[in-house]
Amino acid sequence: MNEQRVSHSPGPRAWLGLLVTVGPVLLVAMDGSVLFLAMPKVTEALSPTADQALWILDVYGFAVGSLLIAFGALGDRYGRLKLLMTGAAVFGIGSAGAAFAPGPEALIAFRALMGVAGATLLPSALAVLSELFTDPRQRARAIGIFAATFAAGFAIGPVVGGQLLSRFWWGSVFLINLPVVLLFLLLAPVLLREVRTTRPGRIDVVSILLSAVGLLLTVYAIKHAAAEGLTALPAATGVVGVGILGAFVRRQRRLEHPLIDFRLFRDRVFTIAIITGLLPLAAWSAAAYLTGIHLQSVHGLPVLHAALLALPGAAVLTVTSIVTPALVGRFGTRAALITSHFFIATGMLLLLPTGVSGGIGWYLASTVIAGVGYGISFSVVADTAVAAVPAERAGSAAAIAETSNEIGNALGIALLGSLAALVFRLQGPDLAGTLDETLRLPGLAPAVIDEAKTAFVTGLHAAAATAGLLHGALGVLAVRWLPKTTRRDEAGVRQSEMATS
């Protein structure tokens, strides 16, 4: 910011501003997961193909993740509050369009529009909070509330969706966004101030296009191959996508002011932190999506019952994300990062005993144990990444940390969801691309239904085992790579000493 700020205790206006600001943040997080329990209803109403169903789920996350850094730069230059207001308005428009989408193509388009708007909200909201709370201790508390709100949004999204679907039609999961957006648009100009910072260099439009196009083409190829088999089109698309991503990486290394500073990854603590931002979100989103179908389409539970079963894991995740900062102050960042991966690995592997006719108890145990790991990872990633790099590169580190969360959320559906779809296609009755599509076919024999459900459960197990093994491997890597004391821990010790002196 251009002005010299004086630290003072925040008044009621600052706390009201925080309350107003976290509303859109909660929506952005919730809309990354609100469809997990809603997909059977969406499939019934719109009849999407297997790859369209995956795009409905994760085009939102890819749009947010691909544009976070770009919109962070735009907000620095043209004003954070202005970008927040514009993004909230577009988010509302996209939500209304998604609620009344007449077909899967329209729903994908409106979900993408919501993702573009969501990318404007996260970095700008964090910058506005830093302006409201100039006292370092109160600012840390406000940012902790911000992080807990974001984690809670991811956790309660499926639960909120399930509650709404038990009473209303599937579009209601999008219409709930409108009151929050309207309240924000009315109160934000009164409670929040405009924030601008001096950012060096121009925004590199070519880098934005390379990252977004390369990512989307690569994921399209993976999804198409998993759902329909490897043919010439997805193979060629995948090669082009990977080539474009390679060009993006090479361009970032040449630019004086890159969108992603890959030199930061030379620091092992930073690298582990960013992977910890990406992989847990990938595991969580894939597990939430696949287990939602498992509970409803395999076990035949009503959507409300499925939502209630998701509550314990959501509560554990939210509480853990709130208490983790205090625990990190006592036990250190290294212990937190390592513990998070082993908890998630254990939770994922606990899904393996689930089956066609039982396993709900294993599902509950999985969500609770993995929820501890998710809560830890959501709380420590950003601070650890920023503390691992020099102060002048903290902005780039924070942007990469936020991006890793959103990309991880989308990649979980794209990669692990595609793995489950591939297993279903190979082992199922080969009558349709998804379990829900298969079960809607008329005149199915009981043996065919059982075959389809068994194939889906096998795909769920493959995705869970893959996620569990990856987290176990990353936990071992963290044990070997991370120093016993990180810069974040050293900074915390210095602050404690200053506070007691």
Q: Let me know: does 198 contact 60? Beta carbons within 8 Å.
A: no
Crossing angle of helices 303-331 and 136-165, rounded to 10°: 160
Q: In what helix (H) or strand (E) does residue 26 lie, and over which residues does it extend?
A: helix 12-30
| Paired tokens of 426 | 């190979």
Task: State residue 469's pLDDT score.
Answer: 96
The identity of residue 142, as a single letter, is A
Whether 1 is covered by a domain: the verdict is no
Based on the fold, state whether residues 170 and 214 are members of the same structural domain.
no
Could you tell me if residue 274 is inside a domain?
Answer: yes
Q: Are residues 44 and 106 in the same domain?
A: yes
Report the alpha-carbon distance of residue 111 to residue 117 in Å, rounded.
10
* Claim to verify: residue 229 and residue 285 sit in the same structural domain: no
Residues 457 and 334 in one domain: yes
DSSP 384: H
The CA distances from residue 402 to 69, 123, 172, 481, in Å, are 9, 8, 28, 22
Instruction: Kindly list the distances between the CA atom of residue 172 and the CA atoms of 97, 160, 161, 167, 184, in Å, as whole numbers in the listed order.
Output: 12, 10, 8, 9, 20
And the tokens for 91? 């988010």
Asked if residue 82 and residue 35 are part of one domain, the reply reads: yes
Residue 251 lies in a domain: yes
Question: Is residue 386 assigned to a domain?
Answer: yes
Is 460 contained in some domain?
yes
Q: Are residues 184 and 253 in the same domain?
A: no
Domain edge (last residue) among 193, 215, 239: 193
Q: Which stretches within 31-79 are classed as H helix?
A: 39-46, 50-78
Contact 260, 389 (CB under 8 A): no
Q: Do residues 351 and 489 share a domain? A: yes
* Number of domains forming the structure of the chain: 3
Same domain, 167 and 232: no
Provide, for the chain, the percentages of residues in helix, strand and coil under a 3-state DSSP scheme, each rounded to the nearest 5: 80, 0, 20
What spatial distance separates the first Cα and last Cα of the chain, rounded to whole Å? 30
- The count of residues in the chain is 501
Which of residues 258, 285, 302 is at a domain's end?
258
Cβ proximity of 307 and 163 under 8 Å: yes
Minimal CA–CA distance to 26: which of 97, 72, 91, 78?
91
* CB distance 121 to 25 below 8 Å: yes
DSSP, residue by residue, 339-361: HHHHHHHHHHHTTTT--SS--HH
Residue-level pLDDT at 130? 65
Whole-angstrom distance, CA of residue 8 vs CA of residue 390: 26
Q: Which of 20, 29, 24 is nearest to 193 (CA)?
A: 20
Q: What is the pLDDT of residue 174?
A: 87
Any idea what DSSP says for residue 392?
A: G
pLDDT for position 3? 39
> What's the CA gap between 196 and 1, in Å, rounded?
6
8 Å CB contact between 119 and 63: yes
Domain residue limits at 210: 205-258
**Cβ-based neighbours of 323, under 8 Å, separated by 6 or more:** none
pLDDT of residue 493: 47
**Which pair of structure tokens corresponds to residue 324?**
């983790």
Residue 334 to residue 320: CA distance in whole angstroms: 17
- What's the burial of 3, exposed, middle or buried (CB within 10 Å: 0-12/13-18/19+)? exposed
Note whether residue 4 is domain-resident.
no
* Residues 468 and 328 both lie in one domain: yes
Domain assignment of residue 49, yes or no: yes
pLDDT tens per residue, the chain (501 residues)?
443 444 455 567 777 888 887 887 787 777 766 777 778 888 888 888 877 887 887 788 777 766 766 776 666 666 777 888 888 899 899 999 999 999 999 999 999 998 888 877 766 776 676 667 766 667 666 766 776 777 677 667 777 777 787 788 888 888 888 988 898 888 888 777 765 555 555 677 888 788 878 877 887 787 777 666 778 888 899 899 999 999 998 998 888 878 777 888 888 888 888 898 889 988 988 898 899 889 988 998 887 788 788 888 888 888 887 788 778 878 888 888 899 999 999 999 999 999 998 889 999 999 999 999 988 887 788 777 777 777 656 666 766 777 777 677 767 877 888 899 889 988 989 887 788 888 888 888 999 999 999 999 999 999 999 999 999 999 999 998 888 765 555 555 444 444 444
The three-point CA angle 335-389-84 to 5° equals: 100
Cα 224–chain centre separation? 22
Residue 2 lies inside a defined structural domain of this protein: no
pLDDT for residue 319 = 85
Asked if residue 376 lies in contact with residue 280, where contact means CB atoms within 8 angstroms, the answer is no
Do 156 and 249 share a domain, yes or no?
Answer: no
pTM: 0.74
Q: Do residues 101 and 216 both lie within one domain?
A: no
pLDDT of residue 6: 44
Judge if 323 and 446 occupy the same domain: yes
From 258, 281, 301, give the residue that closes a domain: 258
Residue 321's domain is classified under what CATH number? 1.20.1250.20
